[in-house]
Amino acid sequence: MSDLSLMVNGKRVSGTAEDRTLLVHFLRENLGLTGTHVGCDTSQCGACVVHVDGKAVKSCSMLAVQASGSSVVTIEGLANGADLHPVQAAFKEHHGLQCGFCTPGMIMTATDMIARHPEGLDEATVRAELEGNICRCTGYHNIVKAILAASKTMAKGVKGKAKQAA
């Protein structure tokens, strides 16, 4: 057993967990953040993707105790109050989800992807970067569309802010 202390969705969280507890199980079972899912055993499906210290990682392949001292953002922490994050909004607008199970991981991967590509995204890049996220419902068609749309929206947002600042 280890004591853990970490930031989750902007709040300080402390707890005790067996050392073998995976981060995803700590989030789901200790913190009740069940939006992060487990869809495979081999770190390939990406249903468990969260952000640790600003980077997308697979929370099923990381011990909770490894994240102690880190800052974690889950799907529950992405929206700003009642306002959906632009990626969340784009998934809804473009029907980028059906059963919803892979969706939290997809959205967390997509936000990370967009952040890493401030120059913008094209379809081939989005498809390549989704290698670690499996969806069985959508055939990815609308997921790709949603991510491209969100990327554009967010770029506009940044430009808009830059203009305001100028």
Partner 1 sequence: MGIEGVGARVARKEDKRFITGAGRYVDDMVVPGMKHAAFVRSPHAHAQIKKIDVKKAQAMPGVIGVLTGKELKADGIGNLICGWMIHSKDGSPMKMGAWSPLAVDKVRYVGDAVVIVVAETKGQARDAAEAVEITYKELKAVVDATKALEKGAPQLHPEAESNLIFDWEIGDAKATDAAIKAAAHVTRMKIVNNRLVPNAMEPRAALGHYDKAEDHYTCWTTSQNPHVARLVMSAFYNIAPENKLRVIAPDVGGGFGSKIYIYPEEIVCLWASKKTGVPVKWVADRTESFLSDAHGRDHVSTVEMAFDKNNRITGLKVDTIANLGAYMSLFSSCVPTYLYATLLSGQYDIPAIHANVRTVYTNTAPVDAYRGAGRPEATYLLERTMEAAARELGVSPAELRRTNFITSFPHQTPVIMNYDAGDYAASLDAATKASDYAGFAKRKAAAAKKGLLRGIGMSCYIEACGIAPSAAVGSLGAGVGLWESAEVRVNAVGTIEVLTGSHSHGQGHETTFAQLVNERFGVPIDSVSIVHGDTDKVQMGMGTYGSRSGAVGMSAIVKALDKVEAKAKKIAAHLLEADEGDIVIENGALKVAGTDKNIPWFQMALAAYTAHNLPGGMEPGLKETAFYDPSNFTFPAGCYICEVEIDPETGTTEIVQFVAADDFGNIINPMIVEGQVHGGIAQGIGQALLEGAHYDASGQLLTASYMDYTMPRADDLPSFKVSTSNTPCPSNPLGIKGCGEAGAIGSPPAVINAITDAIGITDIAMPASPSTVWAAIRAATKH
Partner 2 sequence: MYSVNYHRATSVADAAKLVKSGDAKLLSGGMTLIPAMKTRLAAPSDLVDLSRIKELQGVKVSGKTVTIGAATTHYDVANDEKLKKACPALAHMASLIGDPAVRHRGTIGGSIANNDPAADYPAALLALGATIVTNKREIGADKFFKGLFETALKDGEIITAVSFSAPAKAAYEKFRNPASRYAIVGVFVAKGKDGVSVAVTGAGDDGVFRSKEIEAALVKNFAASALDGVKVPAKNLMTDIHASAEYRANLIAVMAKRAVAAANV
Residues 108-147 that bind partner 2 (CB under 8 A): 109, 112-113, 116, 129, 131-133
**By CB under 8 A, what part of segment 37-66 binds partner 1?**
37-42, 44-45, 47
Distance CA 77, CA 8 (A): 8
Q: Is 36 in the site for partner 1 (CB under 8 A)?
A: yes
Rounded to 5 degrees, what angle do the CA atoms 76, 80, 83 make? 105
**Residue 148 interacting with partner 2 (CB under 8 A):** no
Asked if 130 contacts 140 with a C-beta cutoff of 8 angstroms, the reply is yes
Q: Are 135 and 141 in contact (CB under 8 A)?
A: no
The amino acid that residue 4 corresponds to is: L
**Among the candidate windows 63-71, 100-108, 113-121, 154-162, which touches partner 1 by CB under 8 A?**
100-108
| Nearer to partner 1 (CB atom), residue 140 or residue 153 | 140
Q: Which amino acid is at 40?
A: C
23 binds partner 1 (CB under 8 A): no
CB of 164 to partner 2, least distance (A): 30
Structure-token match 């959508």, residue found: 138
Q: Provide the token pair at 58.
A: 């697979």
Q: Cα-flanking dihedrals φ and ψ of residue 3, to 5°?
A: -85, 135
- Find tokens 């967990």 and name the residue: 17
Q: Binding partner 1 by CB under 8 A: which of 95, 156, 159, 161?
A: 95
Binding of residue 56 to partner 2 (CB under 8 A):
yes
Instruction: Please tell me whether residue 66 binds partner 2 under the rule CB under 8 A.
Output: yes
Q: From the CB of residue 105, how many other CB atoms can be counted at a distance below 10 Å? A: 29
**DSSP 8-class letter at 85:** P
36 makes contact, choosing from partner 2, partner 1, none, with CB < 5 to 8 Å by partner type, with partner 1
For binding to partner 2 (CB under 8 A), which residues are involved? 2, 18-20, 22, 41-44, 46, 49, 55-58, 60-63, 65-66, 68, 109, 112-113, 116, 129, 131-133
